[in-house]
Chain A
Amino acid sequence: MEQLDVIIVGAGVVGCAIARFLSRYDAKVLVLEKEEDVCSGTSKANSGIVHAGYDAKSGTLKAAMNVRGAKLIRELSETLDFPYHNNGSLVLCRNKEDMPGLQELYDRGIVNGVEGLRILSHNEVLAMEPALSEEVVAALYAPTAGTVCPFGMTIAFAENAADNGVEFRFLEAVEDIQKKDRGFSVLTDKGSYETKAVVNAAGLYADVFHNMASSDTLTITPRRGEYVLMDKEAGDLVGCTIFQLPSKFGKGVLVTPTVHGNLMVGPNAEDVEDKADTETTQLGMDDIKKRGLMSVPTLPYNKMITSFAGLRAHGDKGDFVIGEVSECPGFFEAAAIESPGLSAAPAIGEHIAGLIADKYDLKEKPDFIDMRKGFTEVAKLSNEERDALIKKRPAYGHIVCRCENISEGEIEDAINRTLGAKSLDGIKRRVRQGMGRCQAGFCTPRTMEILARELNIPMTQVAKNRPGSELLRGEADET
């Protein structure tokens, strides 16, 4: 049986952040993920927002981790080279009666340590964002808010962790965690492991593992949020992330440019029963589209290129559940990580890794690699740089995805790097092939060929994501 120091359950943004911060220490760490890639659950379908930190109640873990996380994201986007844009945010107040609510957010932000907050008048807001509704009375401006690529950040954490010796195993689901005299037995659908410590970062399923270790029962409810995404042509309609004053169902509908320059509207909030129910609905999409218009009346929905739904891991404790379970020493967790979970993720990773390092007296590695080079984005280079690169590596000159201008070389990179892509979705999340306006209509066949070639698998095994999502149904009959 394999002997580990730490097993992390789940390779979402939180699991990968924990892995990355743990990889600084001399320890044998394994990440187990039931899907075929990192970033396959809640982490892949969310707003991609780095919240400034005025939302969460002061004194909560949410507030502390949000503010610290936002700062870390700014720093790590440099060292780990993932897409982040500090575009600022506005919370719109549309009725005079609601002004106390806006003031409350401002006051809370000050207590939470958010810098640069200002309440802007109608004229100031409209001068800043002319596309906003004339009905806006005032807005809370948070210059530290930003947008981040949730895939880019998760993949960066995972790659850097792997480069520092953390092992990742995919398509391996943890079925049971048993407390032993010294440490734990972790049983999966493929085998079993012995480990000193376990980290529960299982997202929507974190309640299952929490309840194996703690008598204080946790329930996680999947709270579905639907989004619509528009063409990059609409991406500069607003510059800031535009929120509406929060309601009891979370932050309401936002309108935001994404870090890649699309325009996004969403999410709604609907509790569902199935933890895999990422279905979009006509009602849901109609609803968010209508509510988006309240902020930006000219939203060009005829430029919509896709819609999707994500599930928030909504816990019943009113806050993140983070730390070591007191009645089960060695069992650490980061559970119920709903909004602002993406913003908080690196802070959670730093915190949990710190707890583990302290408890087991882990030593820092002398050869820790704290930098990671992101994917080469050929189309973003100047013509001269691009020309030089193509002369060095011709595959960078062969455009496969015409909408996003992604070359064969970049697709090869996505497959062949550390923890490379094994599916079309994996490629898409790494290098944006198929993310454009034709939604992979033209480039799917070619990308499938490259994937089959690089992984040395038959075309019929090429899948959208996990096994069962293969695209082809066999070769044509011989005639």
Chain B
Amino acid sequence: MRHDIVIIGGGPAGLAAAVSAYENGIEDILILERDERLGGILNQCIHNGFGLHTFKEELTGPEYAARYIDKALNYGIPYKLGAMVTEVTKDRKVTYVREGEGVVTIEAGTVILAMGCRERPRGALGLPGFRQAGVYTAGTAQRLMNIEGYKIGKEVVILGSGDIGLIMARRMTLEGAKVKVVAELMPYSGGLKRNIVQCLNDFDIPLKLSHTVTCVHGKDRVTGVTISEVGPDRRPIPGTEEYYDCDTLLLSCGLLPENELSKTAGVELDRVTGGAVVSDDLETSVPGIFSCGNVLHVHDLVDYVSQEAERAGLKAVGYVRALANEALNEHAEVVADTDGESGVEASGRIRIKGEGGVRYTVPQFLNYESMDEKVTVRFRVGDVYKDRSLVLYYDGEEKKRMKKRVMAPGEMENVVITKAGLNGKVKEIVIRVEE
């Protein structure tokens, strides 16, 4: 079995990539989704606020997903549910396991990685205390409440102010629970400003910055938590302990791109994002394997996931076409496997670096020859900055200086690079936060 484009993941990234690939002329697509429905995590995000950029209206998560699912279904793009991919190889063989089918290996002209991310669990945080019931990651709680329809707690403390945690603070309050406090280790929130206003402030839920949980009490079920203030070194300050009675602790302490499959294919990963290192066409270090959405880097808004995934779909189409042309010339796979034109290892590439407050950039490289006229580079900053500038350097020379009123780690920033401005000579682009 062979398909031109195999997309791993049927969430917002995978769907947008599929729709885009189809609209750009490739119909031989297969989406492999491990869950029992398309749409990914959007299905459990029943709050509104999605799609303001893409559709100029406010949608709920399922509504946003439905826009893409409907298109995919209308186009008749093939997909498989309950299909768990177990391996992707360098030469783009994709193996999945599925009830009713067994173990199936397919060959792919291109692979688009769109597996999304997972939540950082309690264990990775090293929270002291018993291993009791009642400690949930915010997303698990969201699923149990919004999809399965259960109450998970009556009195709640939330650790971490990531967006899902903020959304769940409001959601649980609306369901009748008492959310006592949101504690955040950092001196700033990891979530969107609008979520702090709409989910905490509007419900009088206190947000304690520079605080963390120092003990989870209760042997069988959570009976309370102790939170403490932390110093600049992020370590608890003795004597600042406060005890909260509660039966539930929610964790919203960061999302981790789920790149286990990318590793099986030998895809190079970025230590900061946890996602693949990609060029402007979203191709990874392995030719013919593309990455987009939260598996590439954790996004703040799904609109940007869709935009990115659409590009991945488009660029995968280009790759498939190049392969086909090569095949006509009886040099099949040459471009894909050996030629320097493809993959981020190619020569003539321009390195993009984040420095001085810019934690990372996606993409990490530009291929000057093949790049579009305009490429959007997205990144996050490592602290809250007020009235600073984002400065763009081309080979050490200041190219552009952009005033920014506020920048925060919870919100993605971007700069647009134009091909014309690079004039074929630039080797390195640096983005910095400066006074």
Contacts and interface: CB of A to CB of B under 8 A. Distances in A.
B150 A308 contact: no
A278 B119 CA distance: 25
B129 A280 contact: yes
A191 interface: no
Contacts of A307: 123, 126
Contact of A468 (B123, B144, B221): B221
A235 to B, nearest CB: 14
B147 A445 contact: yes
A390 interface: yes
A475 B130 contact: no
A390 B101 contact: yes
A444 B140 contact: yes
Contacts, number: 147
A308 B143 CA distance: 26
Contacts of B221: 468-470
B320 interface: no
A399 interface: yes
Contact of B121 (A305, A460, A477): A305
A205 B175 CA distance: 43
B118 A442 contact: yes
A304 B121 contact: no
Interface stretch (B53-61, B151-159, B388-396): B151-159
B97 A278 contact: no
Given A402-B84, A405-B86, A470-B133, A459 B148 contact: yes
B175 A459 contact: no
B122 A397 contact: no
Contacts of B153: 473
Interface residues of A, number: 59
A229 B123 CA distance: 9
Contact of B140 (A281, A398, A437, A441): A441
Contacts of A395: 99
Nearest to B154: A473
A280 B98 CA distance: 39
A427 to B, nearest CB: 14
Contacts of A437: 118, 121
Contacts of A473: 150-154, 247-248
A474 interface: yes
Interface in A177-214: none
Nearest to A282: B128
A383 B105 contact: yes
B34 A306 contact: no
Interface in B38-72: none
Interface in A375-402: 379, 383-384, 386-388, 390-391, 394-395, 397-399, 402
Contact of A474 (B124, B150, B214): B150
B103 A387 contact: yes
Contact of A383 (B95, B98, B122, B148): B95
A463 interface: yes
Nearest to A474: B151
Interface string B209-245: 0000011000111000000000000001000000000
Interface string B191-214: 000000000000000000000001
Contact of A442 (B97, B122, B140, B247): B140
Contacts of B148: 445, 449, 459
Interface in A102-131: none
A472 interface: yes
B123 A278 contact: no
A466 B215 CA distance: 22
A148 interface: no
Contacts of A475: 149-151
Q: Which 8 A-B pairs have the closest CB atoms?
A: A306-B123, A439-B121, A468-B220, A387-B102, A399-B84, A397-B99, A464-B133, A387-B103
27 contacts: A229-B123, A279-B128, A282-B236, A306-B121, A386-B103, A387-B102, A390-B102, A390-B103, A397-B97, A397-B101, A399-B34, A437-B118, A437-B121, A439-B124, A441-B119, A464-B133, A469-B221, A470-B133, A470-B221, A471-B134, A472-B144, A472-B150, A473-B152, A473-B153, A475-B151, A476-B151, A477-B176
Given A284-B128, A440-B121, 10 more contacts: A278-B219, A388-B102, A390-B98, A438-B119, A441-B118, A441-B121, A464-B133, A467-B220, A471-B134, A474-B150
